Amino acid sequence: MKERPKLGRGLEDVSQHYLSRMPQRDSQRNAAPSPATGMRAVGVCHPGSVLMQSCLIANLALELAKRHHPVVVQDFSPPGDARVRSLMGSILAEDDRGPDQAVVRLYGLPEIVIAEAAAGEVWCGGEGPRKTTPGEDASGQYHLVNVAGSLNFILESAAIPDYILLTKTGEKPLIQAYAYIKVMLERSSASKLHLVLDDAPTKDDADLIFSRFSGFVRHRHGLSVNFLGSFVSDESLERSITEKRPIVLVPGRSEAGVSIANICSRFLEAVDHTGGHTAEGV
């Protein structure tokens, strides 16, 4: 049978997205007003796994789009299958942008632009590849920075107002995470820090580890770290990575899907409450 041209591209994905358990309209209404400059940059960093780092970015980008925020992903991770573009491969729109850019366009949602940086490039701030057109309201636009895996990148990049740091819960990964936090604060003491634990066995373990970790950071640096929760890996997450479809778009309530949705939700609640926290503010 001759295949018909597909109408309503992305409709299935967006339907699933809209039917999720997350309240969208209310959160949109209650969001703190963004300042006139609009752009809010968020760095995401997992010193132990580029794949999990990109995975969180891909899903966070969709959660932001669901709340009607235009999103630009600036991907500084090493080339390969662990890049955000690869993890969103099944929902990329056909587009004539350059080879280092891709776009996700789901029906009724603002587009997500993915810009891939060349090796050695660092984040310089600014509007990035998605320039606002005359008359377009840039408020609420998010730049998600997929951080390259080294401390040098953080030190040499422009200051980023919000960092989401993912870490495993062994002693060495936690020391590494603390080192990253120290460098982030050295780069800009105004940066807000959000922590995600990658492999905590139980919620109680995660709470205890976070309590000790954040207590030490507060004791040493006088700053609070915001806990976003635990990242759960399961077969559904593995399948979503293999199928290049972010797990927040996958039907059904897997443990991994719920954990990622909760992390995104907590983060957005945190930035909504702090409000007015822009790249220029750092």
Partner 1 sequence: MRYLKPMVPADHEQMTKTCAHWFRDELGLTIVEYHLGNAFTGSIDMLATDRKSVFLITVSSSRLEDGLLRSLTGYWWFQVNKDFLCRVYSKEEIDLSLPPVIMILSPTFPPETKSILMQALKLPVRLFRCLMFGTQADPELYIEELPPHHAVEERAPDDLDDLRRELSIERAGLTDGEIRDFQAALKTEAPSLDV
The residues of the shown chain that bind partner 1, judged by CB under 8 A, are 47-52, 80-82, 150-152, 155, 171-172, 174-176, 178-180, 182-183, 198, 201, 208-209, 211-216, 218-220, 233, 235, 238, 241
Q: How many CB atoms lie within 10 A of CB 94?
A: 8
Tell me the closest approach of the beta carbon of residue 176 to partner 1, in angstroms.
Answer: 4
Closest to partner 1 by CB, 28 or 152: 152
- Report in angstroms how near the CB of residue 220 gets to partner 1 at its nearest: 8
List C-alpha distances in Å: 210 to 163, 198, 203, 269: 16, 12, 10, 19
The overall longest dimension of the chain from CA atoms, in Å, is 68
Cα 123 → chain centroid: 15
Question: Which residue's CB is nearer to partner 1, number 89 or number 129?
Answer: 89
11 or 175: CB nearest partner 1: 175
State the minimum distance, in angstroms, from the CB of residue 181 to partner 1: 9
**Of 60, 73, 176, 62, which Cα lies nearest the Cα of 128?**
73
For residue 127 the two structure tokens come to 């509007």
Q: Looking at the DSSP assignment, which residues form a beta bridge with residue 196?
A: 166, 229
Nearest distance in Å: CB 183, partner 1: 5
Closest CA to 167 of 199, 141, 213, 191: 199
Question: Encoding tokens for residue 203?
Answer: 């919620």
Q: Whose Cβ is closer to partner 1: residue 107's or residue 178's?
A: 178
Amino acid residing at 139: S
Task: Collect all residues with Cβ–Cβ distance below 8 Å to 146 and sequence separation of at least 6.
Answer: 44, 53, 54, 57, 73, 74, 75, 76, 77, 83, 84
Q: Tokens representing 122?
A: 């660092």
Of 74 and 86, CB closest to partner 1: 86
**CA-to-CA distance for 32 and 128, rounded, in angstroms?**
23
Specify the 3-state DSSP secondary structure of 225: strand
CB of 32 to partner 1, least distance (A): 27
CB nearer to partner 1: pick between 24 and 233: 233
**Residue nearer to partner 1 on the CB measure, 14 or 237:** 237
3-state secondary structure of 90: helix
* Per-residue 3-state assignment (H helix, E strand, C coil) for 164-227: EEEECCCHHHHHHHHHHHHHHHHHCCCCEEEEEECCCCCHHHHHHHHHHHHHHHHHHHCCCEEE
For residue 76, the minimal CB distance to partner 1 (Å) is 16
Nearer to partner 1 by C-beta: 46 or 192?
46
Residue 8 Cβ, how far from partner 1 at the closest point, in Å?
Answer: 29
Q: How far is the CB of 88 from partner 1 (least distance, A)?
A: 17
